[in-house]
Amino acid sequence: MMLSESHIYLMFSFSISLVGSVLVMPILLLFAQRNQLYDIPNKRSSHVLLVPRIGGIVFFTAFTVYVTYANNDFDPWLLYFMLFGATFLFVVGLYDDLRSVKPILKLLSQMLALLGMVYFYHDAIERFRLHTIFEFISADLFNVLVFCFFLVLINAVNLMDGIDGLAALVSINFFSVMAIIFFRSNHHHFSILSLVIIGSLMAFLFFNFSRKFKIFMGDCGSLFMGFLMCCFALQLMASSCCDPAMEQLSGNQLTYVFAALFSLPIFDIFRVIFLRMANGKPIFQADRNHLHHFISDKMGKSHVFTAVLLCAVHLSLIILALLAM
């Protein structure tokens, strides 16, 4: 079967992102080494060596290069809000990786980044509400709930970056689904952006799993990735409500897909909050009670095993949700 021009362009975009990210990563490692930009191990750390935590730079670079090149394919206001939010959270996360940012300031920065996206997709959120089990909720309250949910999601993705590979593998699962759905519905610019992000994530994984050339994505990567997931979810809401090519994802079916896509990070963060409350500890007090810590610490499994296991569970739930459509 002959490949179409769109298929070739998708493969080319993925390949350029993958190869470009692989070439950029050693430069980041060298820069971190020369400037002593390391994550210092503490009692919560899952590592004992000095490791750079600026790997998220490759995600942001790949994203910025593509949306700048393909800016005419995106709504101008969407591009503005998406670029602003992504850049703002990336910078806040990078500063936190290099110095330190107070949790309350980090939370406020996430709220500011999300405000523009929720405002831009206000009508899409309302149409989504009217075609789902959430129609009994008032429009204003539902907007607040969506905003709060995405705020929790950004932090949940950030907290999943506690062992090698986990946050990246979960992100690959998410953007793989986005690439397929948006390609089938002829939203090729979002499909290409998904593959560009996947390419940078795969390049990062090669170094993240390496012993000699290890690097972490850091908050600059995990906050950026969580925010981008929110952007894609909002676009999927908008497309499913008004695009005939996405009729199979209308209403409650999309709710089930979202539930599967976000199941692992959301379940993990609420599980940890429940455990902290049950033990009389502050809910924002860091600990090692996450699912990945339980598997790696209590069961004695390696980071690679733990990450792949949780990724497989996450992927299984996604496949079940898609098959149920």
The closest of 237, 192, 197, 181 to 86, measured between CA atoms, is 197
Residue 29, domain member (yes or no): yes
Q: Which domain holds residue 142?
A: 5-247
CA atoms of 188 and 180, how far apart (whole Å): 10
Place of tokens 């502050």: 282
**Residue 276 within any structural domain of the chain:** no
Q: What is the pLDDT of residues 176-231, one digit of tens each?
A: 999 999 998 888 899 999 999 999 999 999 999 998 899 999 999 999 999 999 99
Note the pLDDT tens digit of each residue in 159-181. 998 898 999 999 999 999 999 99
Position 173, amino acid? N
Q: Please check whether residue 199 is in contact with residue 309, taking contact to mean a CB–CB distance below 8 angstroms.
A: no
Assess contact for 320 and 173: CB atoms under 8 A. Answer: no
Distance CA 57, CA 89 (A): 12
Q: What is the DSSP letter of 211?
A: S
Residue 124 pLDDT = 92
pTM for the full predicted model: 0.94
Give the integer Cα–Cα distance in Å for 130 and 252: 10
Domain membership flag for residue 121? yes
**301 belongs to a structural domain:** no
pLDDT score recorded for residue 66: 96
Is pLDDT of 107 > 60? yes
**In angstroms, rounded to a whole number, what is the distance separating the alpha carbons of residues 188 and 257?**
20
Residue 202 contacts residue 194 (beta carbons within 8 Å): no
* Joined tokens for residue 11: 């493969």
Q: Is residue 317 part of a domain?
A: no
241-288 pLDDT, tens digit per residue, is 666 656 666 667 888 899 999 999 999 999 999 988 888 888 777 778
Q: What is the DSSP letter of 302?
A: -
For residue 54, count other CB atoms closer than 10 A to its CB.
Answer: 25
Tokens for 73, please give them.
Answer: 């394919």
Q: What is the 3-state secondary structure (H, E, C) of 104-127?
A: HHHHHHHHHHHHHHHHHCHHHHHH
Write down the residue that tokens 């204003």 correspond to.
Answer: 140
Q: How confident is the model at residue 24 (pLDDT cuts 50, 70, 90)?
A: very high
User: Is 283 contained in some domain?
Assistant: no
Would you say residue 315 lies in a domain?
Answer: no
Between 1-10, 47-56, 82-91, the lowest mean confidence (pLDDT) is in: 1-10
- Report whether 168 contacts 208 (CB < 8 A): yes
Number of domains the chain is built from: 1
Rounded Cα–Cα distance for residues 215 and 50 (Å): 10
Element (H, E) at 51: strand 51-52
The answer to whether the CB of 117 falls within 8 A of the CB of 85 is: yes
Cα separation values, 219 from 23, 140, 171, 202, 227, Å: 22, 31, 14, 18, 12
The span from the CA of 168 to the CA of 234, in Å, is 21
Stretch 25-39: mean pLDDT: 88
Classify the phi-psi angles of 186: left when phi > 0, otherwise alpha if psi is within -120 to 50, otherwise beta.
left
Contact 287, 271 (CB under 8 A): no
